[in-house]
Amino acid sequence: MAVCVVPFHIVLFVLSVSHLAAAVASPKEKEFSTEIADLKNEFQTKIDYLFKVIIEKDDIHANEIARLQRQVDVLYTRCGPKNLAQYSSSSETGTDTDDGVTPQRTAERTSELRHENRSETPDRRSSLVHQRPARVDQVYRKHVAFYSYTNIQLTNLGINQPIIFNHVVTNLANPYHSGTGVFHCGVSGVYVFNIHLLALPGKNFEAELAKNGAAVSWIYAGGQGGTYDHGGNTAILELVVGDEVWVRTVLGTDQGATLDYMFSSYSGFLLYPY
Protein backbone atom coordinates (compact mmCIF):
# COMPACT_ATOMS: atom_id res chain seq x y z
CA MET A 1 0.00 0.00 0.00
CA ALA A 2 2.83 2.43 0.83
CA VAL A 3 4.46 1.63 -2.46
CA CYS A 4 1.35 2.79 -4.30
CA VAL A 5 1.03 6.00 -2.29
CA VAL A 6 4.43 7.34 -3.31
CA PRO A 7 3.79 7.29 -7.03
CA PHE A 8 0.44 8.91 -6.48
CA HIS A 9 2.02 11.83 -4.61
CA ILE A 10 4.58 12.14 -7.33
CA VAL A 11 1.83 12.28 -9.93
CA LEU A 12 0.04 14.97 -7.94
CA PHE A 13 3.30 16.97 -7.69
CA VAL A 14 3.91 16.74 -11.42
CA LEU A 15 0.36 17.83 -12.16
CA SER A 16 0.66 20.73 -9.76
CA VAL A 17 3.88 21.92 -11.41
CA SER A 18 2.26 21.70 -14.86
CA HIS A 19 -0.75 23.73 -13.76
CA LEU A 20 1.59 26.27 -12.15
CA ALA A 21 3.61 26.58 -15.35
CA ALA A 22 0.41 27.02 -17.32
CA ALA A 23 -0.74 29.63 -14.85
CA VAL A 24 2.57 31.52 -15.20
CA ALA A 25 2.57 31.41 -19.09
CA SER A 26 -1.08 32.23 -19.55
CA PRO A 27 -0.89 36.07 -18.93
CA LYS A 28 1.82 36.52 -21.60
CA GLU A 29 -0.08 34.50 -24.15
CA LYS A 30 -3.21 36.45 -23.42
CA GLU A 31 -1.28 39.71 -23.78
CA PHE A 32 0.14 38.64 -27.14
CA SER A 33 -3.27 37.53 -28.33
CA THR A 34 -4.76 40.84 -27.30
CA GLU A 35 -2.06 42.82 -29.18
CA ILE A 36 -2.58 40.71 -32.30
CA ALA A 37 -6.34 41.25 -32.13
CA ASP A 38 -5.83 45.02 -31.71
CA LEU A 39 -3.50 45.12 -34.71
CA LYS A 40 -6.01 43.21 -36.81
CA ASN A 41 -8.78 45.62 -35.79
CA GLU A 42 -6.61 48.67 -36.54
CA PHE A 43 -5.63 47.25 -39.92
CA GLN A 44 -9.24 46.50 -40.80
CA THR A 45 -10.30 50.01 -39.73
CA LYS A 46 -7.68 51.61 -41.95
CA ILE A 47 -8.61 49.38 -44.86
CA ASP A 48 -12.27 50.31 -44.46
CA TYR A 49 -11.38 54.04 -44.35
CA LEU A 50 -9.22 53.70 -47.46
CA PHE A 51 -12.02 52.08 -49.44
CA LYS A 52 -14.44 54.72 -48.20
CA VAL A 53 -12.17 57.52 -49.42
CA ILE A 54 -11.74 55.84 -52.81
CA ILE A 55 -15.48 55.48 -53.21
CA GLU A 56 -16.03 59.14 -52.25
CA LYS A 57 -13.40 60.29 -54.76
CA ASP A 58 -14.99 58.19 -57.47
CA ASP A 59 -18.35 59.75 -56.70
CA ILE A 60 -16.84 63.27 -56.88
CA HIS A 61 -15.19 62.53 -60.21
CA ALA A 62 -18.36 60.99 -61.57
CA ASN A 63 -20.39 64.03 -60.52
CA GLU A 64 -17.82 66.40 -62.06
CA ILE A 65 -17.79 64.47 -65.33
CA ALA A 66 -21.58 64.49 -65.39
CA ARG A 67 -21.66 68.26 -64.78
CA LEU A 68 -19.18 68.92 -67.58
CA GLN A 69 -21.16 66.68 -69.90
CA ARG A 70 -24.31 68.67 -69.16
CA GLN A 71 -22.47 71.90 -69.97
CA VAL A 72 -21.20 70.43 -73.24
CA ASP A 73 -24.73 69.35 -74.12
CA VAL A 74 -26.05 72.85 -73.40
CA LEU A 75 -23.35 74.48 -75.57
CA TYR A 76 -23.94 71.98 -78.36
CA THR A 77 -27.66 72.74 -78.27
CA ARG A 78 -27.07 76.48 -78.36
CA CYS A 79 -24.56 76.30 -81.19
CA GLY A 80 -26.69 74.02 -83.33
CA PRO A 81 -27.83 75.44 -86.67
CA LYS A 82 -31.47 75.51 -85.53
CA ASN A 83 -30.93 77.21 -82.20
CA LEU A 84 -28.04 79.56 -82.96
CA ALA A 85 -30.25 82.35 -84.26
CA GLN A 86 -32.63 81.97 -81.32
CA TYR A 87 -29.77 82.08 -78.82
CA SER A 88 -28.33 85.17 -80.52
CA SER A 89 -31.65 86.97 -80.11
CA SER A 90 -31.85 85.97 -76.44
CA SER A 91 -28.29 87.25 -75.93
CA GLU A 92 -29.30 90.66 -77.24
CA THR A 93 -32.30 90.88 -74.89
CA GLY A 94 -30.38 89.51 -71.89
CA THR A 95 -32.94 86.79 -71.07
CA ASP A 96 -32.01 83.84 -68.86
CA THR A 97 -30.93 80.65 -70.54
CA ASP A 98 -32.00 77.19 -69.53
CA ASP A 99 -29.11 76.77 -67.09
CA GLY A 100 -29.86 79.98 -65.20
CA VAL A 101 -26.90 81.97 -66.59
CA THR A 102 -27.52 85.14 -68.57
CA PRO A 103 -25.24 86.17 -71.45
CA GLN A 104 -24.51 89.40 -69.58
CA ARG A 105 -23.25 87.55 -66.52
CA THR A 106 -21.17 85.26 -68.72
CA ALA A 107 -19.58 88.22 -70.49
CA GLU A 108 -18.90 89.97 -67.17
CA ARG A 109 -17.25 86.86 -65.74
CA THR A 110 -15.15 86.42 -68.89
CA SER A 111 -13.99 90.03 -68.61
CA GLU A 112 -13.08 89.49 -64.96
CA LEU A 113 -11.04 86.39 -65.77
CA ARG A 114 -9.17 88.19 -68.54
CA HIS A 115 -8.40 91.06 -66.16
CA GLU A 116 -7.12 88.60 -63.55
CA ASN A 117 -4.91 86.87 -66.09
CA ARG A 118 -3.43 90.16 -67.22
CA SER A 119 -2.73 91.23 -63.65
CA GLU A 120 -1.17 87.90 -62.67
CA THR A 121 0.91 87.36 -65.84
CA PRO A 122 3.48 90.13 -66.40
CA ASP A 123 4.50 91.01 -69.94
CA ARG A 124 7.94 89.52 -70.50
CA ARG A 125 8.55 92.11 -73.19
CA SER A 126 7.87 95.01 -70.83
CA SER A 127 11.25 96.49 -71.65
CA LEU A 128 10.03 97.17 -75.19
CA VAL A 129 6.51 98.33 -74.37
CA HIS A 130 7.64 101.94 -73.94
CA GLN A 131 8.70 101.92 -77.58
CA ARG A 132 5.15 101.14 -78.72
CA PRO A 133 2.80 103.77 -77.27
CA ALA A 134 -0.02 102.68 -79.59
CA ARG A 135 -1.22 99.09 -79.93
CA VAL A 136 -0.64 97.74 -83.41
CA ASP A 137 -2.74 95.09 -85.07
CA GLN A 138 -1.00 91.72 -85.49
CA VAL A 139 -1.39 91.77 -89.27
CA TYR A 140 -0.10 95.33 -89.40
CA ARG A 141 2.95 94.39 -87.35
CA LYS A 142 3.96 91.53 -89.64
CA HIS A 143 3.34 93.21 -93.01
CA VAL A 144 5.01 96.58 -93.45
CA ALA A 145 6.57 97.31 -96.84
CA PHE A 146 6.54 99.95 -99.55
CA TYR A 147 8.00 100.58 -103.02
CA SER A 148 7.74 103.74 -105.06
CA TYR A 149 9.52 105.47 -107.94
CA THR A 150 9.45 108.76 -109.83
CA ASN A 151 7.31 108.81 -112.98
CA ILE A 152 8.55 112.30 -113.90
CA GLN A 153 11.98 113.88 -114.31
CA LEU A 154 13.15 115.83 -111.24
CA THR A 155 15.47 118.74 -111.92
CA ASN A 156 16.81 121.85 -110.17
CA LEU A 157 16.22 120.39 -106.71
CA GLY A 158 17.40 122.56 -103.84
CA ILE A 159 19.91 121.50 -101.22
CA ASN A 160 18.41 119.34 -98.42
CA GLN A 161 15.18 119.07 -100.41
CA PRO A 162 13.25 115.81 -99.95
CA ILE A 163 13.04 113.70 -103.08
CA ILE A 164 9.44 112.70 -103.69
CA PHE A 165 9.02 109.30 -105.29
CA ASN A 166 5.46 109.98 -106.30
CA HIS A 167 4.37 106.75 -107.95
CA VAL A 168 3.55 104.15 -105.29
CA VAL A 169 3.49 100.50 -106.33
CA THR A 170 3.36 98.81 -102.92
CA ASN A 171 2.39 100.36 -99.59
CA LEU A 172 1.47 97.68 -97.05
CA ALA A 173 0.19 99.32 -93.84
CA ASN A 174 0.54 102.72 -95.60
CA PRO A 175 3.82 103.81 -94.01
CA TYR A 176 4.96 105.85 -97.06
CA HIS A 177 3.42 109.21 -97.99
CA SER A 178 3.74 109.91 -101.69
CA GLY A 179 2.98 113.60 -101.20
CA THR A 180 6.00 114.22 -98.95
CA GLY A 181 8.31 111.31 -99.75
CA VAL A 182 8.54 110.47 -96.04
CA PHE A 183 8.31 107.02 -94.46
CA HIS A 184 6.51 107.10 -91.08
CA CYS A 185 7.29 104.25 -88.68
CA GLY A 186 4.20 102.72 -87.06
CA VAL A 187 5.86 99.57 -85.70
CA SER A 188 9.08 99.40 -83.71
CA GLY A 189 11.61 97.04 -85.24
CA VAL A 190 14.44 96.59 -87.73
CA TYR A 191 13.87 97.92 -91.26
CA VAL A 192 15.67 97.62 -94.59
CA PHE A 193 15.71 100.57 -97.01
CA ASN A 194 16.89 100.65 -100.63
CA ILE A 195 17.55 103.79 -102.71
CA HIS A 196 18.37 103.86 -106.44
CA LEU A 197 19.01 107.07 -108.40
CA LEU A 198 19.73 107.58 -112.11
CA ALA A 199 21.33 110.91 -113.09
CA LEU A 200 21.12 112.35 -116.59
CA PRO A 201 24.43 112.99 -118.41
CA GLY A 202 26.33 116.16 -117.59
CA LYS A 203 25.53 116.68 -113.89
CA ASN A 204 26.42 115.00 -110.62
CA PHE A 205 23.65 114.07 -108.26
CA GLU A 206 24.22 113.37 -104.56
CA ALA A 207 21.66 112.40 -101.94
CA GLU A 208 21.41 110.89 -98.50
CA LEU A 209 18.97 108.84 -96.47
CA ALA A 210 17.89 110.77 -93.40
CA LYS A 211 16.44 109.36 -90.17
CA ASN A 212 14.68 112.05 -88.17
CA GLY A 213 16.84 114.63 -89.95
CA ALA A 214 20.20 112.88 -89.41
CA ALA A 215 22.01 111.32 -92.39
CA VAL A 216 22.50 107.55 -92.16
CA SER A 217 23.36 106.58 -95.76
CA TRP A 218 24.68 108.33 -98.88
CA ILE A 219 24.10 107.92 -102.63
CA TYR A 220 26.14 109.29 -105.53
CA ALA A 221 25.31 109.28 -109.24
CA GLY A 222 27.95 111.04 -111.38
CA GLY A 223 26.74 112.10 -114.80
CA GLN A 224 29.64 114.38 -115.69
CA GLY A 225 31.24 111.74 -117.90
CA GLY A 226 28.63 112.35 -120.57
CA THR A 227 26.67 109.20 -119.85
CA TYR A 228 23.86 108.17 -117.57
CA ASP A 229 25.10 107.15 -114.14
CA HIS A 230 23.33 105.07 -111.53
CA GLY A 231 23.91 105.24 -107.78
CA GLY A 232 22.32 103.30 -104.96
CA ASN A 233 22.66 102.13 -101.39
CA THR A 234 21.03 99.93 -98.76
CA ALA A 235 20.54 100.74 -95.09
CA ILE A 236 19.38 98.62 -92.16
CA LEU A 237 17.91 100.76 -89.39
CA GLU A 238 16.39 100.27 -85.97
CA LEU A 239 13.23 102.36 -85.71
CA VAL A 240 10.63 103.06 -83.07
CA VAL A 241 7.10 104.32 -83.48
CA GLY A 242 7.12 107.90 -84.73
CA ASP A 243 10.49 107.83 -86.52
CA GLU A 244 10.64 109.30 -90.03
CA VAL A 245 12.95 108.32 -92.88
CA TRP A 246 13.31 110.04 -96.24
CA VAL A 247 15.75 110.73 -99.11
CA ARG A 248 17.06 114.28 -99.67
CA THR A 249 19.60 116.07 -101.82
CA VAL A 250 22.93 117.26 -100.41
CA LEU A 251 25.46 119.99 -101.13
CA GLY A 252 27.38 118.03 -103.81
CA THR A 253 24.47 118.05 -106.24
CA ASP A 254 25.18 120.19 -109.32
CA GLN A 255 22.79 122.98 -110.26
CA GLY A 256 20.40 121.66 -112.87
CA ALA A 257 21.12 118.00 -112.09
CA THR A 258 18.21 115.80 -113.11
CA LEU A 259 16.91 112.47 -111.90
CA ASP A 260 15.50 110.37 -114.69
CA TYR A 261 11.99 109.00 -114.25
CA MET A 262 11.18 105.31 -113.63
CA PHE A 263 14.82 104.44 -112.89
CA SER A 264 14.94 106.24 -109.53
CA SER A 265 13.20 104.43 -106.68
CA TYR A 266 12.81 104.27 -102.90
CA SER A 267 11.66 101.16 -101.01
CA GLY A 268 11.73 99.56 -97.59
CA PHE A 269 10.24 96.82 -95.45
CA LEU A 270 10.05 95.60 -91.87
CA LEU A 271 12.65 92.88 -91.32
CA TYR A 272 11.31 91.90 -87.90
CA PRO A 273 9.33 93.76 -85.22
CA TYR A 274 10.29 94.25 -81.58
**pLDDT digits 0-9 by tens, 78-106:** 666 555 555 555 555 544 444 455 555 55
Q: What is the pLDDT of residues 218-272, one digit of tens each?
A: 999 876 667 788 899 999 999 999 999 999 998 877 777 788 778 999 999 999 8
Is 49 a member of any domain?
Answer: yes
pLDDT band at 75 (very low <50, low <70, confident <90, very high): confident
Burial of 74 (0-12, 13-18, 19+ CB in 10 A): middle
| Neighbouring C-beta atoms of residue 272, cutoff 10 Å | 9
Is 34 a member of any domain?
Answer: yes
160 and 67 in a common domain: no
Q: What is the mean pLDDT of residues 107-124?
A: 52
Domain range for 266 is 145-273
Q: What is the pLDDT of residues 173-211, one digit of tens each?
A: 999 999 999 999 999 999 999 999 988 887 888 899 999
* Phi, psi for residue 63 in degrees, rounded to 5: -65, -40
Q: Which of residues 53, 77, 101 is at a domain's end?
A: 77
| Number of domains present in the structure of the chain | 2
Q: What is the mean pLDDT of residues 132-141?
A: 46
110 vs 120 pLDDT, higher one? 110
pLDDT band at 55 (very low <50, low <70, confident <90, very high): confident
Is 97 a member of any domain?
Answer: no
- The H-or-E segment that residue 229 falls in is strand 229-239
Per-residue model confidence (pLDDT) at position 8: 53
Strands 244-249 and 182-184 come out as antiparallel
Helices H / strands E in the chain, number of each: 5, 12
Of 249, 251, 243, nearest in space to 211 by CA: 243
For residues 144 and 269, the answer to whether their CB atoms sit within 8 Å is: yes
Residues 6+ apart with CB under 8 A from 171: 146, 147, 148
Burial of 194 (0-12, 13-18, 19+ CB in 10 A): middle
Q: How many Å apart are CA 118 and CA 140, to the nearest integer?
A: 23
Per-residue model confidence (pLDDT) at position 130: 43
Strands 167-172 and 214-222 come out as unpaired
72 and 169 in a common domain: no
- The H-or-E segment that residue 184 falls in is strand 182-184
Per-residue model confidence (pLDDT) at position 125: 42
Type of residue at 128: L
**Is the pLDDT assigned to residue 15 strictly greater than 60?**
no
Maximum average pLDDT range among 37-51, 105-119, 152-166, 179-193: 179-193
Is 38 a member of any domain?
Answer: yes
Is 94 a member of any domain?
Answer: no
Is 268 a member of any domain?
Answer: yes
pLDDT band at 36 (very low <50, low <70, confident <90, very high): confident
